């Protein structure tokens, strides 16, 4: 059998204090940035920066899983963050890792932010960069089917 996919190092990530680390054997997909008021609070910034873990990929906590604290943001969807430094590391769906915050990825995650959503709800102090793909509200239905936890 020939594996036609390009060999790639695993994607790794960690929190600000380095207590929690993970690796993803496989790819990320649907990277996006949501500017809604809820994501601003959740990500403590102007927007989220989030990508889903491909269902074919394997996500593994390699260090510090006991430091994780989970917070449910809406039924079945939640977030997990470091109880020591506060970094938000991942989004969860029914307790499983659904996607990761791009800010906690170390190095190149192999994806770029494809779209900015809920831009009509952006903070009054945010200036959107020119030329980015943006939507006033939710993403197109293609992505909506696999929505983010936030
Ligand atoms: Zn930490
Ligand atoms: Zn949002």
CB-CB contact of 109 with 29 (8 Å): no
Ligand 1 centroid–CA 88 distance in Å is 9
Residue 131 three-state SS: coil
* Phi, psi dihedral angles at 120 (to 5 degrees): -65, -20
For residues 49-54, average pLDDT = 97
CB-CB contact of 79 with 150 (8 Å): yes
Residues 6+ apart with CB under 8 A from 33: 47, 48, 49, 50, 113, 115, 116, 117
Ligand 1 centroid–CA 94 distance in Å is 23
State the DSSP code for 46: S
How does residue 145 score in pLDDT terms, banded at 50, 70 and 90? Answer: very low
Per-residue b or e along 24-38, where b marks 16 or more CB atoms closer than 10 Å to that residue's CB: bebbbbbbbbbbbee
- The whole-model pTM stands at 0.86
Reported as a single tens digit per residue, the pLDDT across 83-128 is 999 999 999 999 899 999 999 999 999 999 999 999 999 999 999 9
Instruction: Identify which ligand lies nearest to the alpha carbon of 15.
Output: 1
Ligand 1 centroid–CA 43 distance in Å is 15
pLDDT at 70 over 50: yes
Q: Which two tokens stand for residue 143?
A: 């992505």
Ligand 1 centroid–CA 79 distance in Å is 14
Ligand 2 centroid–CA 101 distance in Å is 13
């Amino acid at each position: 059998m020939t594996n036609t996919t390009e060999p790639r190092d695993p994607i790794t990530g960690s929190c600000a204090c380095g207590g929690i680390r993970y690796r993803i054997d496989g790819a990320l997909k649907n990277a996006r940035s949501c500017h809604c008021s809820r994501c601003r609070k959740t990500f403590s910034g102007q927007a989220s920066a989030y990508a889903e873990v491909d269902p074919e990929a394997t996500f593994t906590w390699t260090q510090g899983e006991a430091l994780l604290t989970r917070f449910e943001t809406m039924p079945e969807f939640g977030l997990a963050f470091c109880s020591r430094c506060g970094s938000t590391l991942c989004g969860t769906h029914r307790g499983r890792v659904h996607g990761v915050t791009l800010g906690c990825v170390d190095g190149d995650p192999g994806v770029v932010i494809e779209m900015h959503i809920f831009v009509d709800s952006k903070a009054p102090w945010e200036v959107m960069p020119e030329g980015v793909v943006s939507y006033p509200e939710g993403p197109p239905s293609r992505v909506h089917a696999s929505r983010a936890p936030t």
